[in-house]
Amino acid sequence: MQYHFPENFLWGIASCAAQTEGAAFEDGKTASCWDVFCRLPGSIRGGDVMDIACDHYHLYEQDIAKMARMGIKSYRFSFSWPRILPEGTGRVNQAGIDFYHRLIRCMKSYGIRPLANLCHWDIPYALQLKGGFGNREMIRWFGEYMDVLLDNFGDEVDLWCTFNEPIGIFVGYAKGVKAPGLRDEAYGRQALHNALVCHGEAVRRFRERNIAGAKIGIIVDVWKHYPVRPDSEEDRAIADYYNECDGYGMILSPLLLGKYDEKYLTYLKDHDLSLDIREGDMELIHQPLDYFGLNYYNAFFEHADEVREREELKKKGHPQHMKMVHHPEMITEVLYMLVHKYQLKTPIIISESGIPELDPDHGPMEDFLNDDWRIDYLEKILQGVYQGLMAGLDIRGYYIWTFMDNFEWEAGFTMRYGLYYTDFETLERTPKKSAFWFHDVIENNGFERED
């Protein structure tokens, strides 16, 4: 069957400053919360740090040239807040501004459209010391950061995004496995609420400028949990918990419906937790978006017995408890959920999808280049996107995570998501089979597949 995508479909690549740029302490950039978190013993597999990462800061020209050869139409990158505002607020670092000018101009010289993301978790450590997203002052600081970006790049970038995956903030403050490494559930839930208000404040300031043609949205990852046995109350309750109280529901309900879900509110009450929600917060969060970015990786099917077993293993210190079963096809159901349950009316961009290969022992490059299994997975996701399009959903683009293997947060350099293989010693990038595949998909504006 032929999968042919709409004209002007935005084929893109997504990345993130902290995971790729390196130059962590160069040209006036100060530490981000992640630079510090990496240095906490035991926080990152193998003790890796992101100081050099892929050195995209210096090698961006060759990276963008490679993207251009692949035919990429849009490059989703993020600004490093501590590179722009080393103290988080106040003093602007001109060298940081200059770098992003060079980066954006380079993309545009190849006709690649920038999609600029404000926050991909790496806030300035200076602000982390003041509580980070746990501190409501963050709303003002975030707004100021938005203003600095609009002052400098408002006429160069027409596609903006406030946050990538705000859930990462909850995980970092409540569960400790991401920066800043705190394990305080109440604080984590409040930090997430505050981050959503930051999003709203940034959108408000963006609207004030009335920049002709410029669009703003937010990117949310949806890992949906389903009951294995839909008639089992236990399985349903587990799936509900993960969706509404530990996952996307905590973000999509306020963002798209203007209120927290009843199940979440009940959970908070039952666990003696409460959120500090101030007057105007919900309106600020629930502002019209120009597009919605969906990151889709996988879905989970929950069986109460397996969950109990998993929890037991976790208690005994075996965190690698989840058997990874892949469900690329479930993206269509998630798209329908956005439109039906969350009443999404704006265009949708699939802002990330990808699949990693583990490399804990740093095996030879040749083992990673023939990634047919990645191509199979990405095609299945695209089949799901296509089904959504055929059902009339307004899907405007599809971005792959990611251009080159990079620093995969708590997994350090042991998880390879790239279409290009990165040799982290020499920093050489080598295309995998999937890079050629994506080139062909873009060139043909689709692909052909039998099943």
Interacting residue ranges for ligand IFM, rule: CB under 6 A:
16, 19, 165, 221, 295, 352, 401, 408, 417
State the Cα–Cα distance between residues 255 and 261, nearest whole angstrom: 11
Q: Please say which residue, 246 or 352, places its beta carbon nearer to ligand IFM.
A: 352
| Dihedral angle of Cα 123, 126, 128, 131, to the nearest 10 degrees | -130
Whether omega before 422 lies within 30 degrees of 0, making that bond cis, reads no
Of 128 and 406, nearer to ligand IFM (C-beta) is: 406
Q: Identify which of residues 253 and 295 has a Cβ nearer to ligand IFM in the complex.
A: 295
Instruction: Give the shortest CB-401-to-ligand IFM separation in angstroms.
Output: 5
Separation CA 196–CA 206 (nearest Å): 15
- Pick the closer one to ligand IFM by CB: 165 or 246: 165
Residue placing its CB nearer to ligand IFM in the complex, 53 or 139: 53
Nearest approach, Cβ of residue 319 and ligand IFM (Å): 16
Listed residue (54, 18, 21, 20) closest to 36, CA to CA: 18
Question: What is the closest distance, in whole angstroms, from the C-beta atom of residue 98 to ligand IFM in the complex?
Answer: 25
Q: How far is the CB of 404 from ligand IFM (least distance, A)?
A: 12
Whether 219 contacts 241, CB under 8 Å: no
408 has catalytic annotation: no
Active-site position among 244, 352, 379, 410: 352
- Identify which of 234, 235, 232, 266 has the alpha carbon closest to the alpha carbon of residue 249: 266
**Shortest spacing between CB 416 and ligand IFM, in angstroms:** 11
Of 165, 302, 379, 408, the catalytic one is: 165
Q: Is 26 a catalytic residue?
A: no
Q: DSSP states of 111-177 as a string?
A: TPEEEEEEESS--BHHHHTTTGGGSTTHHHHHHHHHHHHHHHHTTT--EEEEEE-THHHHIIIIISS
In sequence order, the 6+-apart residues with CB closer than 8 A to the CB of 188 are: 169, 170, 171, 172, 173, 174, 175, 182
Q: Give the residue numbers marked as catalytic.
A: 165, 352
